[in-house]
Amino acid sequence: MENSLKTMPKLGKTIALINQKGGVGKTTSTVNLAACLALADRKILVLDFDPQGNASSALGIDRATAASRPTIYNALVGEVKLSETIHATEVDGLFVSPANSELAGAEIELVAMFARESKLKIAIAELKNQYDYILIDCPPSLGLLTVNALTAADSYLVPLQCEYFALEGLSQLIHTIGLIRQSTNPALAEEGILLTMYDGKTNLSNQVVDEVRKHFTHQVFTTVIPRNVRLAECSSFGKPIVLYDVNSKGSSAYLSLANEFLTRNQALEPTVTPGLVTPPPFNPSTGMTGESSNSL
């Protein structure tokens, strides 16, 4: 019985983390949500789909290591299988397909290709049932790479910075998602909106939180990611926050997010698997970890 469970196909749900605005915590959220899900005994694959390659370096894959083997660019243009690009990370159960600057040229190369919007979906099909969740770190644009990510995804998650200008681009993003649903991926679902870079000391952060929750209600995750120096530091050390400083506010927030994420997806998972044992969730009203009326 144990062996049959090990060989059972995984859920293989693919989630695109998307925001055309840069600097909103998208890569930070991709890497740290992935690490926390891996700690909950899920097998996770991160696809670094941003030519800057920040998700790769945040998971300990330096440029020299990425250059020594095929990258996601090579899989996208059909030169290799996606499985040939995958690296293990320091976190058990967490894997990454890295990117480098070559990926920037893919947008031009894809233009002349047949079914150019579906190249990533075709690449993922080979190994989708080998992972519980596949997280795609999208580039900060709405170009052909992002269209590929949304075409390949089962759902999308929007990290949204708690600042006024972050709200302005949301309508354009929603319009793009509507076009994707009309053309290449009618089944694309909403995973949710994640509020990031929250600073409880500013009225603006609180106003943005209130405004987003008022307009999008249940779509917004209860967990809010705070501004945290440790979150900024851990990426430069090539480690997710749970390995760099598990006691930090940032770590508590992402562990809480992973718990909430798994609760939302519980009905989809094919088997009953262990959940997360998390520290108390981050409470945005106090800026501290501890019991909150919003805790799960």
Per-domain boundaries in the chain: 2-289
pLDDT of residue 169: 78
Q: Give the Å distances, CA to CA, from 167 to 81, 158, 200, 266.
A: 38, 11, 18, 30
pLDDT of residue 144: 92
pLDDT of residue 93: 96
| 91: CB partners within 8 A, 6+ apart | 35, 38, 39, 240, 242, 243
CATH for 2-289, options being 2.60.40.10, 3.30.43.10, 1.20.120.340, 3.40.50.300 = 3.40.50.300
**CB of 98 within 8 A of CB of 66?**
yes
Give the predicted TM-score (pTM) of the model: 0.88
pLDDT in tens, the chain (296 residues): 334 334 567 889 999 999 988 889 999 999 999 999 999 999 999 999 999 999 999 999 988 888 889 999 999 999 999 999 999 999 999 999 999 989 988 888 888 888 889 999 999 999 999 999 999 999 998 889 999 999 999 999 999 998 877 777 788 888 889 999 999 999 999 999 999 999 888 888 888 888 888 888 889 999 999 999 999 899 889 999 999 999 999 999 999 999 999 999 988 887 655 565 455 444 555 444 443 333 33
pLDDT of residue 274: 55
pLDDT of residue 37: 97
| 186: CB partners within 8 A, 6+ apart | none
pLDDT of residue 52: 93
